[in-house]
Chains A and B, each alone.
Chain A
Amino acid sequence: MSPTESALPDDAALLSVRGLRKAFGSHEVLKSVDVNVRRGEVVALIGPSGSGKTTVLRCLNGLEIPDDGVVDFAGQLAVDFSAPVTKKQLAALRDRSAMVFQHYNLFPHKTVLENIIEGPVQVQKRPKAEAIAEARELLARVGLSAKEKSYPFELSGGQQQRVGIVRALALRPQLLLFDEPTSALDPELVGDVLTVIKELADEGWTMVVVTHELAFARQVADEVIFMDGGVVVERGHPDTVLRDPREERTRQFVDRLLNPF
């Protein structure tokens, strides 16, 4: 369970996003957003709802098509959205990353094991036996070996989300995207999922995490980006952004999360 090998040095830029713009109708959700992620780095995106942080993530995975901007994977694949992009470009971009969803979005009609091997076998055309072996190894790592034959409805939210994470890992992406991975969970189940994500970070996976868990962001992230109103308001080391922010808007947001009433 280690990130895809690459010839790049450890601190090389893996992803560079420049001037990302997206509007839904007349509502500008992203107004020129830049994000840089180095290999092995964990970037936490925080901000109030409607700030555009989830849209950034979805643009990276091709779930939304930005109106403008460049998404550049280590110079190997650069997609410039100022001109119309082809399906092939979008597919290539999508295949670099894998998304873990807030509501898990597991396939309810498939067992845990089938959920995990669906991408590797059906899309990546890897041998089924190999995909199953790898899936079992990954399930063991998240403590769910006993559940491979279960259907998603038989699992708790925390278990479902760990399967969601394994399903993403099984694709062997260069970049993991987490969209509020613990927001739909009962409070007592949040820890299990965050522990798994922290372990992945420690193993060197590169990830962008949209989260409201500030303690988690402070502990795990290498960089925190605070967004509001479709722009990046502040970015930097977690200790700075979360403890001693320069911007008033960041301070207000962090205060509200830490002292809700």
Chain B
Amino acid sequence: MTINWDLVWSSLGPILTGAVTGTIPLALASFVFGLLLALLIALMRLSRNPVFSTVARMYISVIRGTPLLVQLFVIFYGLPSIGVTISPWPSAIIAFSLNVGGYAAEVIRAAILSVPKGQWEAGHTIGMSRRQSLVRIILPQAARVSVPPLSNTFISLVKDTSLASLILVTELFRQAQQVAAFSQEFMLLYLEAAVIYWIICLVLAGGQSALEKRLDRYVAH
């Protein structure tokens, strides 16, 4: 097999455009919304109020128990039949955010529980409310613990955004697909897409290491 380098170079433009204007903003926006949702779900799950904790538990169960592709299709292709039509980009962001919300909620819940009870008590004794203790004492410590598993979530998400190609979002993989269909060079284009996903994830893993290092400054080595 000879490599058609001309095609590699000429396809790089559309594929990188797909990454920069599709994959990366889609992943970033979904991760931010997803984390906010996850924090809310985690706190509901930890709440002593049985209604909150039950709702949170069911949410997590549904998200983890159904395929992401099905969630995406329900929102984009399913909802219009009950009169709710959402265009591709918002559909993708909603689906990915809801998905991250379910998975990351369990990470955040575990991270909050990993902070010793004595930290809540120390917050109490210096006069803090539970909310103040949570924000200023518990969450900063939970954040350190949750960086590795949340990095996993984020890296998975970057690759999962390729599913958005199936609801017509122009992102990295859809661009590769289109060049492949036109040139009939499937192996080349899909490997090229794979390499670019890999490079994005290498950069993210580097970011994870830097963040871990920074957050580890207050623990013994």
Q: Which residues of A contact B10 (CB under 8 A)?
A: none
A122→B118 contact, CB < 8 A: no
A108→B118 contact, CB < 8 A: no
Complex formed: what's the CA distance from A123 to B140 in Å?
A: 18
> Known contacts being A108-B219, A153-B219, is A171 close to B126, with CB within 8 Å?
yes
Residue of B136, B141, B217 contacting most chain A CB atoms (<10 Å):
B136
> Known contacts being A99-B125, A105-B119, is A123 close to B141, with CB within 8 Å?
no
Q: How far is the CB of B119 from chain A (nearest CB, A)?
A: 6
A123→B126 contact, CB < 8 A: yes
- Bitwise, B103-145 to A at CB < 8 A (1) or not (0) is 0000000000000101101101111110010001100110010
Q: Give chain B's interface secondary structure class.
A: helix
B119→A124 contact, CB < 8 A: no
A109→B125 contact, CB < 8 A: no
> Known contacts being A109-B140, A109-B141, A153-B220, is A98 close to B122, with CB within 8 Å?
no
- Bitwise, A227-244 to B at CB < 8 A (1) or not (0) is 000000000000000000
Q: Is A106 an interface residue (CB 8 A)?
A: yes
Q: A101-B122, A109-B144, A123-B128 are in contact. List 19 more A-B contacts (CB 8 A).
A: A62-B124, A63-B125, A91-B127, A91-B129, A94-B127, A98-B125, A99-B121, A101-B125, A103-B118, A105-B116, A105-B122, A106-B122, A107-B122, A109-B218, A110-B218, A124-B127, A151-B217, A153-B219, A167-B126
List residues of B whose CB falls within 8 A of some A CB.
Answer: 116, 118-119, 121-122, 124-129, 132, 136-137, 140-141, 144, 217-220
A-B residue pairs in contact (CB < 8 Å), sample of 11: A98-B125, A99-B121, A101-B122, A105-B121, A108-B218, A108-B219, A122-B128, A151-B217, A151-B218, A153-B218, A153-B219
